[in-house]
Amino acid sequence: MPEGDTIFRSARALHRALAGKIVTRFETAYAHLASVDDDKKIAGRTIVRVEARGKWLLMYFSGDLILVTHMRMNGSWHLYRTGERWRRPRRDMRIVIDTADWSAVGFAVPVAEFHSGASLLRKTMIPAPDQDLLKQNFDFVGVVAAMQEHADEQIADVLLNQKVMAGIGNVYKSETCFMCGVNPFWQVRTLDPSQLQQLVFMARK
């Protein structure tokens, strides 16, 4: 599964290419997305921004519409210049968003939903911006405090808890514990605050 750094880079590339551009065409293999497009046409809207929140990628359109996607194991977003040949077969296509000069294609994306700003707030699986390790406004103090609320759990499990801090998967969980000299099977209660702070700092780094 892509970890937070991969999704961060994908969101950054999509944002740089698409932010401020008008959608010229929207296509999807998903009926639930197509029904939203039928009611609230995506073509003609402006792409306001694209951001990552942990392992989730969010694309904001004008008119209070947000496309939320999660890659799980095999999904990915590709960027192509208009008319450029795709690097994956069309059968893997799930979403296409065209602008005048770019095409964003979601291949094998297993989770894709449209939300308004209000409904996004109710989507508890999607972390808040300040829980994302790579956000500038990352809440360092709040995350350490949240870790301490899981005192009886193994630190490896807490590092993977996307509601504590978002973005870490198995690779960075393991590397973070190794770099900090922390046994991943230790309970959080056995670690002092300075060790927890070091883990968070190393994970973010």
Pick from 51, 62, 52: which is nearest to 21 by CA?
Answer: 62
> Which of 3, 27, 113, 153 is the catalytic position?
3
CA 50 – CA 19 distance, rounded (Å): 7
CA 154 – CA 143 distance, rounded (Å): 16
Q: How far is CA 196 from CA 1, 22, 155, 180, in A?
A: 25, 45, 9, 10
Enter the DSSP assignment of 24. Answer: -
Q: How many helices (H) and strands (E) does the chain have?
A: 7, 8
Active site residue 55: yes
Token readout for 37 is 């497009």
Q: How far is CA 204 from CA 20, 40, 187, in A?
A: 29, 38, 21
> Which of 40, 51, 55, 89 is the catalytic position?
55
Active site residue 2: yes
With 0-12 CB in 10 A as exposed, 13-18 as middle and 19+ as buried, what is 85? Answer: exposed
Active site residue 84: no
Task: Count Cβ atoms below 10 Å from residue 9 Cβ, excluding itself.
Answer: 13
Q: Which positions are annotated as active-site residues?
A: 2-3, 55
